[in-house]
A and B are shown apart, each in its own frame.
Chain A
Amino acid sequence: MDDLLNDFLAETSEILADAGGALVVWEADPADRAQLDSIFRMMHTIKGSSGFLALPRVTALSHAAEEALDQVRRGHRAPDAALVTGVLAIVDRLSMLCERLASEGAEPAGEDGDVIASLSGDAPDPVQADAAPAVPAAIRMRRDDDIITELQGWRSIRVPLPLLDSVMTGVTDIVLARNEFARMLRESGADAALIGAFDRLSDSIAGMRQSVSQMRMQRIDKLFAPLPRIVRDLAQELGKKVHFDTSGGEVELDREMMENIRDPLIHIVRNAIDHGIEGLDERVAAGKDITATIRVSARQSGNQIEIEVRDDGRGLSPDALVAKAIANRLLSAADARTLTPAEKLELIFRPGFSTAAQITEISGRGVGMDIVKANVEKIGGLVELRNEEGRGLSVLLRVPMTLTIISGLMVRAAGQYFAIPRGSVREILLETNDSVRIERLGGGEIATVRGEQFPLLRLEDVLARQRGDDDDVDDRALVIIRPGQGQSYALSVAAIHDHEELVIKPAAPMIMATGLYAGTTLPDNGRPVLLLDVQGLLAASGVDAGEAGRSQDRADEREAQAERARNATQLLLFREAAGRTRGVRLSVIERVEEVPQSALFESGGAVRVQVGDEIFPVHAATVPAGEAAVKLLRLYDGDTVICYPIAAVIDIVRLPDVVEPASAPGLIAGVVLVGGEPVELIDPFWIMECHAGGRTAVAGRAPLCRLVGDADGWGENFLAPLLRGAGYRVATAADAGEEADVMLCLTESGQGCGHDAGDLPVICLRSAVVSASPEGASVYRYDRAGLLAALRRKVGGARS
């Protein structure tokens, strides 16, 4: 009876898992008669077996579901969401009963009227059924006999797992015996006929070993079966529309492996719906199809299986991840700056990280991506992310095809062999290789391989053993190991032996407890070999193998890049009111001010602006008209502010290295090419110069000096530059028109020059050092201070 019950439970739980998926597929396409029939068949099977075992609740439930589905098959009832939900509820209840049956051995007492009622809540309505378009009348009605016949079509038998394992062990034994026999045959010098016969035996043993390995394999369909149901329920709960699709279900995977990736896979799918897929509004706003797509696909590549979960949701935002990690104190802001985009994505694998702003009921149940990653890595797999921000995320699980057979690298140390999982080996180099440098630093050792540094562990030291006597120094090799994301180290071993496919078994608890080994294996030579735990070796030696901040080259380069970026002069591009694009060094701009047009005014020939309770000069000839508001660049030299009116700020760019300077000093310091377009660079020095000390460049402000008696050109050549430099304008006698403020009279000895000055103040300059006239009436022409003082006395001077 027990055996019967166990068989029933195994079969039923399998059927129930399939039924959930099949129901969802059928719901999507109610005209799919084949799906309906298969679900009906499943319920029928459960009902039949449970009746035999006297399980009244199971029988009643499966009968109710079978009845309802039969109504649909006969066209008496329309398939609708309520019906599917009802049948799913029955599937759930049956699963629950099976679990209780398995643990208690008897059907628990209880009442299932509620679930059954929910199914028949929509009582069969012939009228509605007639109108139902979803069930085409053309489909031939099947009799139960057809279905019984089809049941025979599932041509497989149920074998207890221990039996399978013992067959596997037996075959492995045969292989080992064969190897030993082969060795003895070779040594005995047997004749060719005997060896030929043995080879045939050998081949058939190899074939048999292959078949036995395949017996443990199952189609990955089994793993995918519960997913449609999960997607449907979750999408409904969250009010999202999701189209779910699987492919590659025919790929085969070791049964044990399947158990290990079931939970991670479900978690990733839940995550995709919960976090990845946007809400309906957001999808519409992003211009995406309102129905999101989640695609789970499997494919075999070598002895690995790749399972990809791809969604077309919002993807991951590296910057948001960083901000989150900093907020959760998983990362310091300084460390965050050194991360590459790929490293930023890897943050979701950090323990304690959860991307959702709030922990939701759906995916926030304490199981994070860190657990997913840990579980997948535990079985020798990898998790990869392929992110397209805004367009979707795909999570790739790469797992070995079987849990028990891994590809291993055999190495020697301390006179014995050890195995290293091939998956974590990045590179193998001889220690004598030119690109390897080994240094001893403060008692520890560091290996530098092509500029990349790795902490060096010597396997003998980690295992506290002496080096083997027959080790050749030239054989010593470095195995660069990457035990996990963002970690790597170099393991020095006495020699590399070879690669082998290894059947891994757990070692005895006291050996596993050392933390150094991940299991044992028996290679073909029949001597046990320990599989090293590459993470455990690291822990045992207490070395920090984190790659962050290690590689000096990369860090230096990053630093240099940041330095260059800091040092680069930045250029503010702006458009002037006249429409011309000009640029100015960003560093001279204090800020960009926007003021109402009325804040600008003209005073004393200069345009000024009132900002708050301060008044600043504006570099403009007139008050800009027309605009209600004026944008002003505030140029600041540490002392003075001058405002420069612009129409708009365009951009901030790096100042090109090549500046074509202007031929003469002025507003434009030169021309540069920005994005292929010439841009005039304004010269803040010149602007400051113009406004220095309140002096303006506006014509008509500087006092005009008229030179008379400049017979030999001294006045024009020597005096005028001095005067201009002091802020005066200079006119010669020939320049008539504008009335001068002062007349400078050039004479021989200082006597009156005789020019008619009217009421103009006159300063007489003499060429003789000694004055012939009364003191103060004339100024020696090279007495700069005296001349300027006299000018100030006469006209009030240019400088206040």
Chain B
Amino acid sequence: MEKLYLIARIADTRVALRSRSINSVVTVGAPVEVPGAPPHVAGLFALRSRVFTLIDPHVVVGLPPVAVASGQRVIVVDVAEHGYALLADEIEDVCFIDAAETRLAGKLMPGWARVAEAMIEHEGASLLVVDPSHFIVPPALKAA
């Protein structure tokens, strides 16, 4: 279980998400907007009679927000008993990665630096290892 990762492209970057905190991957229709909410909240949608809060990772890492396309795939996670979903550009795969997580090398964008925890080697490419909960409550904001 430790080694199971979800490989996805989030905010124009390929990442490996630790699967422990991931609930499921689903598709959504147009979300309901939440006026007045922080900018990374892209809206609300219902799934199995639960209301989920849609998070736009683009905003979290400092990119302009993207419009939610109908049928877009999202990664559903539970944080502190609330349901959230991360907008994903693309879901690639769920797989075991035997390689160890390594310390981040190189300078990241400040937004990514806040959420990324480590790097991992997978099929000849380096992926950022990200805890999905960091998109919902970014560590820098946690301290604030």
State whether the Cβ of B32 lies closer than 8 Å to any Cβ in chain A.
Answer: yes
Q: How far is the CA of A416 from the CA of B53 in the complex (A)?
A: 16
Q: Which residues of chain B (121-144) have a CB below 8 Å from chain A?
A: 137
Q: How far is the CA of A143 from the CA of B53 in the complex (A)?
A: 61
B41/A510 in contact, CB under 8 A:
yes
Q: How far is the CA of A510 from the CA of B33 in the complex (A)?
A: 14
State whether the Cβ of B80 lies closer than 8 Å to any Cβ in chain A.
Answer: yes
A414: B residues at CB distance < 8 A: 35
| Nearest chain B CB to A284 CB, angstrom units | 57
B41/A511 in contact, CB under 8 A:
yes
A416/B45 in contact, CB under 8 A:
no
A173/B48 in contact, CB under 8 A:
yes
- Of B37, B48, B51, B137, the residue contacting A528 (CB under 8 A) is B51
Binding stretch for chain B, among A339-347, A483-491, A519-527, A750-758: A519-527
> What 1/0 mask marks residues of chain B from 15 to 59 whose CB sits below 8 Å from any chain A CB?
000000000000000001111111001001110111101000000
State whether the Cβ of B112 lies closer than 8 Å to any Cβ in chain A.
Answer: no
B50/A507 in contact, CB under 8 A:
no
B5: A residues at CB distance < 8 A: none
State whether the Cβ of B82 lies closer than 8 Å to any Cβ in chain A.
Answer: yes
State whether the Cβ of A176 lies closer than 8 Å to any Cβ in chain B.
Answer: yes
Residue of A nearest to B38 (CB): A510
- Of B38, B49, B137, the residue contacting A172 (CB under 8 A) is B49
State whether the Cβ of A530 lies closer than 8 Å to any Cβ in chain B.
Answer: yes
Looking at B32, B51, B80, which has the most chain A CB atoms within 10 Å of its CB? B51
A196: B residues at CB distance < 8 A: none
B33: A residues at CB distance < 8 A: 416
B34/A176 in contact, CB under 8 A:
no
State whether the Cβ of A447 lies closer than 8 Å to any Cβ in chain B.
Answer: no
Q: Which residues of chain A (162-189) have a CB below 8 Å from chain B?
A: 169, 172-173, 175-176
- Of B45, B46, B49, B53, the residue contacting A508 (CB under 8 A) is B53
Q: How far is the CA of A416 from the CA of B31 in the complex (A)?
A: 11
| Nearest chain B CB to A480 CB, angstrom units | 22
Residue of B nearest to A520 (CB): B51
- Of A173, A506, A516, A528, the residue contacting B32 (CB under 8 A) is A528
Q: How far is the CA of A331 from the CA of B84 in the complex (A)?
A: 47
State whether the Cβ of A529 lies closer than 8 Å to any Cβ in chain B.
Answer: yes
| Nearest chain B CB to A172 CB, angstrom units | 4
- Of A169, A464, A511, A514, the residue contacting B53 (CB under 8 A) is A511
Of the four ranges (under 10, 10 to 19, 20 to 34, 35 or more), the interface on chain A belongs to: 20 to 34
Q: How far is the CA of A514 from the CA of B82 in the complex (A)?
A: 16
Q: Which residues of chain A (499-518) have a CB below 8 Å from chain B?
A: 505-511, 514, 516-517
B36: A residues at CB distance < 8 A: 463-464, 514, 516, 540
| Nearest chain B CB to A25 CB, angstrom units | 41
A173/B44 in contact, CB under 8 A:
no
Contact flag A528-B35 (CB < 8 Å), given A169-B50, A507-B51: no
B35: A residues at CB distance < 8 A: 414, 463-465, 516
Query: How many residue pairs at the A-B interface have CB separations less than 8 Å?
Result: 64
B41/A528 in contact, CB under 8 A:
no
B44/A528 in contact, CB under 8 A:
yes
| Nearest chain B CB to A516 CB, angstrom units | 5
B50: A residues at CB distance < 8 A: 169, 505
Looking at B32, B34, B45, B84, which has the most chain A CB atoms within 10 Å of its CB? B34
Q: How far is the CA of A530 from the CA of B35 in the complex (A)?
A: 10
| Nearest chain A CB to B12 CB, angstrom units | 23
Q: How far is the CA of A151 from the CA of B82 in the complex (A)?
A: 41
| Nearest chain A CB to B40 CB, angstrom units | 8
| Nearest chain B CB to A742 CB, angstrom units | 103
Q: How far is the CA of A507 from the CA of B38 in the complex (A)?
A: 13
Residue of B nearest to A169 (CB): B49
| Nearest chain A CB to B135 CB, angstrom units | 12
A173: B residues at CB distance < 8 A: 48-49
B137: A residues at CB distance < 8 A: 510
Contact flag A529-B32 (CB < 8 Å), given A169-B49, A508-B82, A522-B46: yes
A528/B82 in contact, CB under 8 A:
no
B45/A510 in contact, CB under 8 A:
no
B53: A residues at CB distance < 8 A: 507-508, 510-511
A522/B32 in contact, CB under 8 A:
no
- Of B44, B51, B82, the residue contacting A509 (CB under 8 A) is B82
Residue of A nearest to B53 (CB): A508
Residue of A nearest to B35 (CB): A463
B44/A530 in contact, CB under 8 A:
yes
- Of B32, B45, B49, B84, the residue contacting A176 (CB under 8 A) is B49
A514/B37 in contact, CB under 8 A:
yes
A416/B49 in contact, CB under 8 A:
no
> What 1/0 mask marks residues of chain B from 54 to 84 whose CB sits below 8 Å from any chain A CB?
0000000000000000000000000010101
| Nearest chain A CB to B74 CB, angstrom units | 14
B46: A residues at CB distance < 8 A: 176, 522, 526-528
Residue of A nearest to B30 (CB): A527
B32: A residues at CB distance < 8 A: 416, 527-530
Q: How far is the CA of A520 from the CA of B31 in the complex (A)?
A: 13
Residue of B nearest to A414 (CB): B35
- Of B34, B48, B80, the residue contacting A511 (CB under 8 A) is B34
Q: How far is the CA of A540 from the CA of B37 in the complex (A)?
A: 13
Q: How far is the CA of A176 from the CA of B51 in the complex (A)?
A: 13
A507: B residues at CB distance < 8 A: 34, 44, 51, 53
B45/A528 in contact, CB under 8 A:
yes
| Nearest chain A CB to B3 CB, angstrom units | 30
- Of A169, A172, A176, A520, the residue contacting B44 (CB under 8 A) is A520
Q: How far is the CA of A530 from the CA of B51 in the complex (A)?
A: 10
A522: B residues at CB distance < 8 A: 46, 49, 51
B38: A residues at CB distance < 8 A: 510
Q: Which residues of chain A (670-695) have a CB below 8 Å from chain B?
A: none
B84: A residues at CB distance < 8 A: 508
Contacts A511-B53, A521-B51, A526-B46 aside, 5 further interface pairs with beta carbons under 8 A come to A507-B53, A510-B41, A511-B41, A514-B37, A517-B34
7 nearest A-B pairs in the assembled complex, by CB-CB distance = A463-B35, A528-B44, A508-B53, A172-B49, A173-B49, A520-B51, A514-B36
Point out residues on A near B: beta carbons under 8 Å: 169, 172-173, 175-176, 414, 416, 463-465, 505-511, 514, 516-517, 520-522, 526-530, 540
26 contacts between A and B (CB under 8 A): A169-B49, A169-B50, A173-B49, A414-B35, A464-B35, A508-B53, A510-B37, A510-B38, A510-B137, A511-B34, A511-B37, A514-B34, A514-B36, A514-B37, A516-B35, A516-B36, A520-B51, A521-B51, A522-B46, A522-B49, A527-B32, A528-B32, A528-B45, A529-B32, A530-B44, A540-B36
